Structures are given as C-alpha cells and as structure tokens.
Structure 1
Amino acid sequence: MMMNRRTFSAALVAGAAASLISTRGMAAPAAPAKARNVVLAHGLFADGSCWTEVIARLQAAGLNATAVQNPLTTLPEAVASVQRVLDRQDGPTVLVGHSFSGMLVTEAGVHPSVSALVYVAARAPDAGEDYTALAKTFPTPPASAGIVFDGDEGRLTEAAFLRDFAGDLPEAKAKVLYAVQEPFHKALLTGKTTQAAWRSKQSWYAVSTEDRTINPDLERFMAKRMGANTIELKSSHLSLISHPDAIAGLILEAAGQQKG
C-alpha cells in the first residue's frame, strides 16, 4: 500500500534534517523491535572501512556494530559472509546494506536474528528477479561507463570513482577511498536472490538524489515497492560517508532506539 508523505524527523540526529528531502510514510506498520546489534555490508568498489563514520555514531549510541568484509566473489559466497556474522549476534539485529549489498540484505535478511532491514542507495530485488534487467528499464547511471576489467576482476577508474561514485566528498578523502577499492569478480553480477526478506521484515531505505552509480528513480521504485520507511538525501552514492548522521539516525530508528 502506498504511504503518504511526511516530514522526516529532525529528531533523528541534530542538524541532519537540513540535508533531507522527505518521502517518509505516515507511520510504520508497527514499532520496530528493539535491537542493540547492527551488521553492515558494503557493496562494489569498497571494503568494510566505508562504514567507519556510521559505526562511530552507532557505537556512541550504545549499539554493537559489525562491518562485514564482503568477498565480492560470487553472490552465494557474499551472502555466506553476512550469514556468518549474523550467526554471531546475540539478540535482534538490524541488517544494513549499501549499493550492491542490498542483494545480500534481501537474501540473508530472512535470518531469524534480523529484526529490520536498512537499504542505503542499495539494490533491492525481488526473489528470483533479474536486477540487471530491472535496472535497464531506467536511464543508465554514468558510473557504469567507468568500470574496467583486468581479466575477471572489475573496478572503477579513478576519474569515475571521484566523479560518479564519491562526487560530494572532498577530493582528498575520495582518493583515500579509491586507494582501498576492492575489485569485484564478474561472477558476482550473475547471481540472483532466491528470497526477498523485505516481504516479511520491516524495511528502511535512504535514496541518494544525486546518485550517479544507481539511478535515483530506480532507488525510489525499489523503496516504494517494498513499502520502506524512506528518506531522500541530497547525496552522491556514498551517503554513508557524506551524510553519516542521517544514515546512523535511520539505522537507530530501525533498531527501535529513537522515534521516526
């Protein structure tokens, strides 16, 4: 059911509201379960360190946060890396994915420990859906032209990384992130999810309105389809770094730690 729009609460994190464009629903179907654990998965062109700014804020709020090191090899291996971390959690856990790792959230999110899902400018396919075919129904984002391959390993060129992936970050900071870019294997992109956790778990979604890696309208489509509690950030694909207060606030809301 389509949710009405309302203002995204400035109470999430002080000062964060100025960066938000609201598409929040009137109310979540039910109050989210209280969770003290958060598991965060990174996508392509990155590693677990991309969550550092968000993790610091979650820890300051008293949550136990763990970043998964996604191997970026095959979808089953990437999903398994998330499941292993979820198995170690004690109690309800919010599962968060950025970019490609929305695939992992969608598949691994059925884990019994997962109490809520958070998608950050992320893929959110349905079970068995061909995400590539879905993405082709929207304009191709500029970053796609910047992917180069060394055999079976793909990565973004430095120019594309700075312009199309991390476009709203200071250049010096973006270059550091580029230096730790983890190449992905071609086989990773051929996998399809077999489950859609968002059909049974409460979900949140952060759309990046200036995204040049995933089309913002595709993000909006996926968020609306899943009935997610949605915010929009005037951000590049890396909102978790350029808007860490807002992303941490969204995760805290999904964890039942503060009001939306």
Structure 2
Amino acid sequence: MAKENPVTDRANSGGAVPASRADNVVLVHGAYADGSSWSGVIALLQQAGMSVTAVQNPLTSLDDDAAATIRALDLQSGPTVLVGHSWAGTVISQTGGHPRVSALVYVAARAPEAGEDYGALAGTFPSAPASAGLVHSPDGFAQLSEEAFVNDFANGVDPGEAKVLYAVQGRISDTLFASRTTEAAWQTKPCWYAISREDRTTDPDLERFLAKRMNATQIELDSGHLSLVTHPREIADLILEAAGRPVGKR
C-alpha cells in the first residue's frame, strides 16, 4: 500500500488540540549534535516571522542541559514553542513546565515519565544500529564513530553534509543517558510529535509508543533520525502548527 503524504499522515489519539498563538520558538538539539543541526528549520521559521533561539547544550548532564534551556526560555518575550530533537526530548520534558512554554514539539525524541528508567523502556524495543558505533574516551565522554554517524545517525542526509555534521558533533558525558527527569511537562502542555519511519538511532515503534502515550498530534516522515535536516519544511510546519500560525503561507 502506498504511503500517505508525510505532512497529512497524522493522528491524535484524543482529537486535535487547539494551538495557542506563539511568536517565539526555542529549539533544543540532541546528543551527537549542536545547535547548527537546526539551521534549515531556523531559516524557515524566521521567514514565517517567528523569533527563534537555538540552545547550545553542554551535554554534560541533564541538569546542565536543562539550565541552558531555562536560560533561553527566560529571555523570551511571551508564549514560546519548545522543541526537542532526540535526547533533547528529555530536556524539554524536564523544562517544559516553564510559564512561557505554550506547546511542546518532539522530533524523533525521548519523552520519559518523571523518574522513569528510559533505558529500560527503550530496551523493550529493538536496539537501533547507531548505538553499536559509540566510542568512549578515557575522560568520561563518548561520541559516534564516523561510520555510525554517517550511515546510521545521519542516514538519508547527503553524505557530504553528514560528514560536516560529524565534524561538529557534540560529545556526551558517559552518564548523560542515565539521567532521570523529575517532571514530565508533556502531561500538562499540548504536544506534537514527528516520527521518523527510517530511524536507525531510535526505533520508530518506540517513537510511536511515546507519541501515543503523550496524546500528541503526530506526523510520520520517510526520514532517518535527522528529519530536522532532511525534512526542514515539514518540521518547520509542525512547529508553526504548534504555534497557532498559518502553515503553507509564507
């Protein structure tokens, strides 16, 4: 059976949630990345008249990443859509209770319950290939090998661009993924979720489970883990929808 258009292939287990008008967006990057991974999305959101801030996470601990995100949220002038990719789903779940956050958008992202052992949850789904390419250094940090980054983390990205992203990848603390949240903002804020059908970093069925659990408005994209790079228009449109802005009108 033919796949539906990725923009209209959407679902919401509890019915569509009306979006509050927001003029601001804060984008939070995941592990093995930095703020530049949002470049294509940023340009489209700015063209649509949004004020955009990209957080630069230290990736040293959940507390450190949450603090960087809170600093960005504190600077916003009004209602703000908070967006997280991959690991940053944990960060926005922890920080999304901020009073300026009007909506949450998850992009192939983690979304733990407060106090949940996310690693144990993920372990109930098939292991994603990218994790096999993790390289640890003696100082307590880790990164993906070039092969794992280009072929698994950035599958579907132009190979030349993937190598550039590999060069600027954020190294993570060995203990980062063991962090547990104390909050789950998705329980109280309206949520949107972009699932990547061809993800080789997070199992797509895990993404579907998380999106359903948070009662998110969902889209599915024929994309690898970096849909924000390969499908910036679809991701920007999802963010604009969460911001109560016109989609497809530039």
Same fold (TM > 0.5): yes
- Deviation readout 1:19-64 (Å, 9 max, x if unpaired): 44713238423x2110000000000110000000000000000000
- Contact in 1 for aligned 2:128/2:202 (Cα 8 Å): yes
- Contact in 2 for aligned 1:39/1:94 (Cα 8 Å): yes
Q: Please, what TM-score do these two structures have when normalized by structure 2?
A: 0.94
The aligned counterpart of 1:65 is 52
CA RMSD, 1 decimal: 1.4
CA distance in 2, matches of 1:36, 1:28: 21
The aligned counterpart of 1:203 is 191
- Contact in 2 for aligned 1:33/1:115 (Cα 8 Å): yes
CA distance in 2, matches of 1:213, 1:125: 17
Cα deviation for residue 259 of structure 1 reads 6.0
Task: Extract structure 1 runs of 4+ deviating beyond 3 A.
Answer: 17-21
The aligned counterpart of 1:162 is 150
Cα deviation for residue 129 of structure 1 reads 0.5
Q: Secondary structure at the match of 1:34?
A: coil
The aligned counterpart of 2:213 is 225
Structure 2 residue 172 is matched with structure 1 residue 184: yes
Structure 1 portions without partners, runs of 5+? 1-16
The aligned counterpart of 2:121 is 134
Q: Supply the AA of the counterpart residue of 1:136.
A: G
Q: Secondary structure at the match of 1:240?
A: helix
Cα deviation for residue 254 of structure 1 reads 0.2
The aligned counterpart of 1:124 is 111
- Contact in 2 for aligned 1:21/1:233 (Cα 8 Å): no
Cα deviation for residue 117 of structure 1 reads 0.0
The aligned counterpart of 1:79 is 66
Q: Cα gap change, 1:21/1:165 in structure 2, threshold over 3 Å: closer, same or farther?
A: farther
1:171 to 159, 171, 175: 159
Structure 2 residue 11 is matched with structure 1 residue 24: yes
Cα deviation for residue 189 of structure 1 reads 1.6
CA distance in 1, matches of 2:31, 2:201: 10
The aligned counterpart of 1:254 is 242
Q: Cα gap change, 1:189/1:247 in structure 2, threshold over 3 Å: closer, same or farther?
A: same
Q: Supply the AA of the counterpart residue of 2:63.
A: P
Q: Secondary structure at the match of 2:11?
A: coil
CA distance in 2, matches of 1:20, 1:236: 16
**Identity over the aligned pairs, expressed in percent?**
56
- Contact in 1 for aligned 2:28/2:56 (Cα 8 Å): yes
Q: Please, what TM-score do these two structures have when normalized by structure 1?
A: 0.91
1:234 to 219, 222, 225: 222
Q: Secondary structure at the match of 2:21?
A: coil
The count of residues paired between Structure 1 and Structure 2 equals: 243
2:21 to 16, 30, 34: 34
Q: Supply the AA of the counterpart residue of 1:248.
A: A
